[in-house]
Homo-oligomer: A and B are copies of this chain.
């Protein structure tokens, strides 16, 4: 990338973010050095510190901004939607469309959670929880109105989010299907998945185990030094 005009301005910060996103996506957070980042932006390594204090701060900002933007745009997409099925359709269409264009952000937000320091990790998990809650509330509303049947709201929330985010692993513009066809295929899957009258047996909860499922889950931290491994 050519040297950016105005090394102290917002353009440089934007160039740093863009280069950071690409380098972390290609090589991983641990493998990216600030020297490499500065070279990609076209500035001296020392000049980076006019814009970011640490590599950790950059990672945190990238992930945080991604989820904040997701939340902001989701709320716009849900505006004025009334019935649970209508809300769920809007959620599916928004999530799929957004994720078609944010492959790098999504990859980093998922694969580099392990690289966040505890305070930052907690902040991201909290923010992600707010996004998950939007979907969980739509499902719960549909269940209480009798239009959805869900064995477990929390499992269904995680499963539907995983299903929709899966698009990042294969979507490319100009493929066999139009965007509309891809959204329609996902709408059918998700709306049917919560339709009453499934064939599976009901869930058997274990009354002795009452810990919420996701909140305890910190994938990479579970193998941090000093903690049990396997």
- Which of A25, A31, A212, A222 has the largest number of chain B CB atoms within 10 A? A31
Note all chain B residues with C-beta closer than 8 A to A216. 172, 175
Closest CB in chain B relative to A21 CB, distance in Å:
10
- How many chain A residues have a CB neighbour from B under 8 Å? 82
How many copies of this chain does one complex carry? 2
Note all chain B residues with C-beta closer than 8 A to A222. 172
Binary interface profile of A, 161-200, with partner B (CB < 8 Å = 1, else 0)? 1111111111110111110111011111111111101111
Contact assessment for A206 and B194 in the assembled complex, using a CB-CB cutoff below 8 Å: no
Contact assessment for B204 and A25 in the assembled complex, using a CB-CB cutoff below 8 Å: no
Closest CB in chain B relative to A96 CB, distance in Å:
10
- Which of A103, A162, A195, A206 has the largest number of chain B CB atoms within 10 A? A162
Question: Which listed residue (B28, B114, B169) contacts A219, Cβ 8 A?
Answer: B169
* Residue in chain B with minimal CB distance to A22: B223
Contact assessment for B166 and A211 in the assembled complex, using a CB-CB cutoff below 8 Å: no
A159-B163, A172-B222, A189-B193 are contacts. A206–B184 as well, Cβ < 8 Å?
Answer: no
Q: Does A214 contact B (CB under 8 A)?
A: yes
Contact assessment for B211 and A175 in the assembled complex, using a CB-CB cutoff below 8 Å: yes
- Measured in the bound complex, the distance between the Cα atoms of B217 and A156 in whole Å is 28
Note all chain B residues with C-beta closer than 8 A to A82. none
Note all chain B residues with C-beta closer than 8 A to A189. 151, 156, 159-160, 193-194, 198
- Measured in the bound complex, the distance between the Cα atoms of B108 and A28 in whole Å is 12
Across the A-B interface, give the 7 residue pairs with the lowest CB-CB distance, nearest first. A162-B166, A28-B28, A30-B31, A187-B200, A163-B163, A192-B198, A181-B203
